[in-house]
Chain A
Amino acid sequence: METRTAFHKRLREIQDDVLALGSMVSKATLRSVEALKNRDLGLARQVVADDKKVNQKRFDIEEKCVQLIATQQPMASDLRIIVAVLNIITEMERIGDHAEGIARIAILIGDEPPLKPLIDIPRMAEQAVDMLRRTLDAFVNRDAATARQISAEDDTVDQLYDQVFRELLTFMAEDPRTITRATRLIWVAHNLERSADRVTNICERVVFVVTGKMEEIGASKY
């Protein structure tokens, strides 16, 4: 018979908050790239403004975790969940920052003529967001195997990044007047590569929740 129902209810609420934060930063990432692709400055500004909500949500969750640690003496898996959440929300807040960074680049680019149609950059964003969504599912399901598997998928994002980088390099080599525009797109791709890396850090936390072991899985080449 469960003896700590009130505590476990609050722990579940924190988990729900983590999912909500995940949804916020996923949306921010996709919208930032959409803003860039469609030259939608209004949407880009919206992403920048919404990042404050992401930061606030992270602080709120952190405060709830501190209160639970201070008042509920969490033990074993309960303690691991709270410690993992503190790390996961930090990673997600940074993913939110990367999205904000992309939105700021979109604003910076403004209505400059496009260098090339964006193909791989939206793919990177979709891949990173999909990894994050499935990682949070693995967190909720306490599924270490899936977390390890998702972590390995970071290679796909790294390959896309390489591809974007190489392609933009050729533009710059051919015509130095494209250097500014190409560099900005490299920054965008770099932000997305970082986001996917942060998802792999979250995967490590999922493994920690399940196994109690802190281990580095699928180290990124970058």
Chain B
Amino acid sequence: MDINITLPENNTRPAEKCVTKLMVEQINLYYGDFQALRDITLDIPSCSITAIIGPSGCGKSSLLRLFNRMNDLIHGARVEGNIELDGIPVYDSKIDVVELRKRVGMVFQKPNPFPMSVFENVAYGPRRHGIKNRGKLAEIVEQSLHQAALWDEVKDKLGQSGLALSGGQQQRLCIARVLAVEPEVILMDEPCSALDPVATLRIEDLMRSLAEDYTIIIVTHNMQQAARVSDTAAFMMMEPDRAGVLVEYGPTAQLFTNPRDKRTEDYITGRFG
């Protein structure tokens, strides 16, 4: 497949800072005998938001979970091919998976704050990575909550349970929790599917501001969300044996105005899927 990534429309960073953050080369993923992904190859640029769209079961989330080896936790999962983060093979046996997941954080579909205070939710990660100084932790918590556009709403209730927040606030708390360990890549698996439209738009706006500093990859069922928020988009679908393949990958504006593949056109215009 000919993949030519141009600089994202929304990008404000100098071109030389945009490099391939994640390189995916000829990936095949199996769950036991079942092949979930077939021959996936794509380069994910550093200074942007990449969206993965496609019908249910096409392997979007499976692909996303490869980036921080979350599939390792699934019994019988086997990966062939190569994924590199800044040129380092993610599936190398010498890779420290905990360190990898620090660099490649994840936000899930349902907001899942820990049953502890707002402060402790955000401080949890840095503590686990060895930061004990209370002042330093407070600084990290404040900064992370600012970055997650939540600080103003929770600064007076840092001691309250994270579970007492609204759904949209809980999801931003989860994003703050990821940011607190200073990741480079943030994976988002349907981050807004449990939220109302206004909370969704707030998360999307937050994603745009985070894209200045982080590489964001989002899996979404919501095609409009992918169109709104991403710079590059990947369309996946299932082959007859149910293995997921990458059909088209390119600048979002092009994918949604003039897709190159007929199958993409049919999917985004609602003619199939």
Interface size on A, residues (CB 8 A): 14
Q: 1/0 per position for A75-107, CB-CB distance to B under 8 A?
A: 000000000000000000000000000000000
Q: Which residues of A contact B208 (CB under 8 A)?
A: 5-6
Contact B228 A7 (CB under 8 A): yes
Say whether chain A's binding surface is mostly helix, strand, loop, or mixed.
helix
Contact B252 A3 (CB under 8 A): no
Contact A72 B227 (CB under 8 A): yes
Contact B205 A70 (CB under 8 A): no
Number of interchain pairs (Cβ within 8 Å): 38
Interface-central residue, A1, A4, A71, A73, by most chain B CB under 10 Å: A71
| Cα distance, A201 to B74, chains bound together (Å) | 63
Q: Which residues of B contact A1 (CB under 8 A)?
A: 202
Please tell me if A159 contacts chain B, counting CB pairs below 8 Å.
no
Which A residues from 1 to 46 make CB contacts under 8 A with B? 1-7, 10
Contact B202 A3 (CB under 8 A): yes
Say whether chain B's binding surface is mostly helix, strand, loop, or mixed.
helix
Partner of A70, one of B10, B201, B202, B256: B256
Q: Which residues of A contact B9 (CB under 8 A)?
A: 10, 67
Which A residues from 181 to 199 make CB contacts under 8 A with B? none
Partner of A3, one of B10, B198, B257: B198
Contact A5 B227 (CB under 8 A): no
Q: Which residues of A contact B201 (CB under 8 A)?
A: 3-4
Closest-by-CB residue of B relative to A69 is B257
Please tell me if B224 contacts chain A, counting CB pairs below 8 Å.
yes
Q: 1/0 per position for B243-273, CB-CB distance to A under 8 A?
A: 0000000001100110000000000000000
Contact B253 A4 (CB under 8 A): no
Name 9 A/B residue pairs within 8 A (Cβ), A-sorted: A2-B205, A3-B205, A4-B201, A5-B208, A67-B253, A70-B227, A71-B228, A71-B252, A71-B257
Given contacts A67-B9, A72-B228, 16 further A-B contacts (CB under 8 A): A2-B205, A3-B201, A4-B201, A4-B204, A5-B208, A6-B205, A6-B208, A66-B257, A67-B253, A67-B256, A67-B257, A71-B228, A71-B253, A72-B227, A73-B227, A73-B228
Please list the 7 inter-chain residue pairs (A to B) with the smallest Cβ-Cβ separation, ordered nearest first.
A3-B201, A71-B227, A6-B208, A70-B256, A67-B253, A70-B257, A3-B202
